[in-house]
Amino acid sequence: MTVGTLDYVAEKQPEADAHGNVAYYTDGENYWLADGTSATEDDLVLLYEVAVEVIVEGVALDGTTAETVAEGTVITFTSSKTSYTYTVGETQSFKMSPDTYTVTADGCRSVEITVPEEGGTIELTLQKVISIAGAVSDYNPGNKWSDSVTLEIPDDLKTSTDVVLEFTVKNVTNSQAGWPTDEWASQRFAIQMAKGNEGFLFFLPKGEANIFDMTDGSIRDEGSFGSIRSFAARTA
């Protein structure tokens, strides 16, 4: 077995007429990103930045009514290699490295855009969504039951019969199920849809996705959807 050495190459930002690169390791033939992910030479390149004009339009919660995106709104562009921020009404000249970016802004649905190598105009349409601010405490031995945050629904939606609620849940600590460690408690949480036992309970230890319907006032195994797929089927 032969053990070689790896050289570390620091990140270099692109310039007006020259490409840059992300930070990486190499043995002279192979390449790895800073997090250990295997990469190709193309993955390492940060293309030179080009001038971009960002035009931002907004859409209200109903999905159709135009709504101005407020000045001061910070928009973040994130690619697999780098990120940029743009402030509505404040950012004047703006340059980006050509790539595909996920675009996010507080209170808006994320979208994806591609900056071409020649730069130019980028038109963004930001759909307003109901966002929630706050954090839920992590599990620790002295506080197994954590805090909660409340999603405030606007009055005009409370009486509506045509509302879609989307949310993302994930195991953030990669904890295992089972005793005696109690790690499972850090991955058990609920979305309460109304007062009382109305909603869904999620139990997400590593490698599992267990979802329980609480609308019958219980969280017994027979109320479990068992998987994301069956959950989607029963709620469609």
Per-residue pLDDT of the chain (236 residues; tens, 9 = 90+): 344 688 999 988 887 677 888 888 998 889 998 888 888 888 888 878 889 999 999 998 878 889 999 999 999 999 988 899 999 988 888 888 899 999 999 888 889 999 998 889 999 999 988 766 555 555 455 554 556 677 777 777 777 777 777 766 555 555 555 555 555 555 667 777 776 667 777 776 666 667 777 665 554 444 444 444 344 334 33
| Alpha carbon 171 to its chain's center | 13
Which pTM does this prediction carry? 0.58
How is residue 191 written in tokens?
Answer: 């979305």
E-strand spans in 31-105? 31-33, 38-39, 45-46, 50-59, 74-78, 83-87, 95-96, 99-105
Burial class (CB in 10 A: 0-12, 13-18, 19+), 223: middle
